Structure 1
Amino acid sequence: MSWLTDPFSIDFVLRALCGGVLVAVLCAVAGTWVIVRGMAFLGEALAHGMLPGVALATVAGVPVLFGAAASAIVMSLGIGALQRRAKLSYDTSIGLLFVGMLALGVIVISHAGSFATDATAILFGDILAVGTDDLVVLAIAAAIGVGTAAVAHRALVAAAVDERVATVLGLRPRLAQTVLVGLVTLAVVASYQAVGSLLVVGLLVAPAVAARQWTARIPSTMLIAAVVGSAAVAVGLLVSWHAATAAGATIAATAIAGAGVSWALRASIDAARRRVASPVPVPL
Structure 2
Amino acid sequence: MAWLLEPFAVPFMQRALLGGTVAAVICAVVGTWVLVRGMAFLGEALAHGMLPGVAVATLAGWPPVLGAAASAAVMSVGVGAVARRARLSSDTAIGLLFAGMLALGVVIVSRSRSFATDLTSILFGDVLAIRTADIALLAGALVVVLAASLVLHRPFLALCFDTRTAAVLGMRPRAAHVAMVLLVATAVVVSYQALGALLVVALLLAPSAATRQWTHRLPPTVALGAVFGAVSVAAGLLLSWHAGTAGGASIALCAVALVALSVAARSVAARSAAVPTRS
TM over 0.5: yes
Matches within 5 A, 1:113-132: 113-132=113-132
Equivalent position of 1:265 in the other structure: 265
Matches within 5 A, 1:131-146: 131-146=131-146
Equivalent position of 2:82 in the other structure: 82
Aligned partners of 1:110 and 1:231: how far apart in 2?
Answer: 37
Instruction: Give, in angstroms, the shift of residue 118 of structure 1.
Output: 0.3
Aligned partners of 1:243 and 1:146: how far apart in 2?
Answer: 35
Equivalent position of 1:274 in the other structure: 274
Aligned partners of 1:100 and 1:213: how far apart in 2?
Answer: 35
Residue segments in structure 1 that go unaligned for 5+ positions in a row: 280-284
Question: Residue 8 in 1 paired to residue 4 in 2?
Answer: no
Instruction: Give, in angstroms, the shift of residue 124 of structure 1.
Output: 0.4
Aligned partners of 2:207 and 2:199: how far apart in 1?
Answer: 13
Equivalent position of 1:246 in the other structure: 246
Specify the code of the residue in structure 2 equivalent to 1:21: T
Aligned partner of residue 171 in structure 1, secondary structure: coil
Instruction: Give, in angstroms, the shift of residue 85 of structure 1.
Output: 2.0
Matches within 5 A, 1:189-200: 189-200=189-200
Aligned partner of residue 276 in structure 1, secondary structure: coil
**Moved runs in structure 1, 4+ residues, more than 4 A?**
none
Matches within 5 A, 1:226-241: 226-241=226-241
Residue segments in structure 2 that go unaligned for 5+ positions in a row: none
Percent sequence identity over aligned pairs:
57
TM-score, length-scaled by structure 1: 0.96
- Higher alpha-carbon deviation: 215-224 or 268-277: 268-277
Matches within 5 A, 1:201-240: 201-240=201-240
Aligned partners of 2:24 and 2:9: how far apart in 1?
Answer: 21
Q: What CA deviation, in whole Å up to 9, does each residue of 1:183-235 have, x standing for no partner?
A: 11001000001110110000000000001011111111011000000000011
Aligned partner of residue 197 in structure 2, secondary structure: coil
Equivalent position of 1:27 in the other structure: 27
Aligned partner of residue 179 in structure 1, secondary structure: helix
- CA RMSD, aligned part only? 0.9
Instruction: Give, in angstroms, the shift of residue 276 of structure 1.
Output: 2.2
Specify the code of the residue in structure 1 equivalent to 2:11: D
Question: Residue 173 in 1 paired to residue 173 in 2?
Answer: yes
TM-score, length-scaled by structure 2: 0.98
Question: Residue 147 in 1 paired to residue 147 in 2?
Answer: yes
Structure label with greater radius of gyration:
1
Equivalent position of 2:51 in the other structure: 51
Instruction: Give, in angstroms, the shift of residue 37 of structure 1.
Output: 1.4
Equivalent position of 2:36 in the other structure: 36
Instruction: Give, in angstroms, the shift of residue 236 of structure 1.
Output: 0.7
Aligned partners of 2:275 and 2:203: how far apart in 1?
Answer: 35
Equivalent position of 2:73 in the other structure: 73
Aligned partners of 1:88 and 1:143: how far apart in 2?
Answer: 35
Specify the code of the residue in structure 1 equivalent to 2:93: S
Instruction: Give, in angstroms, the shift of residue 83 of structure 1.
Output: 2.0
Specify the code of the residue in structure 2 equivalent to 1:238: L
Aligned partners of 1:13 and 1:231: how far apart in 2?
Answer: 15
Specify the code of the residue in structure 2 equivalent to 1:209: A
Specify the code of the residue in structure 2 equivalent to 1:68: A
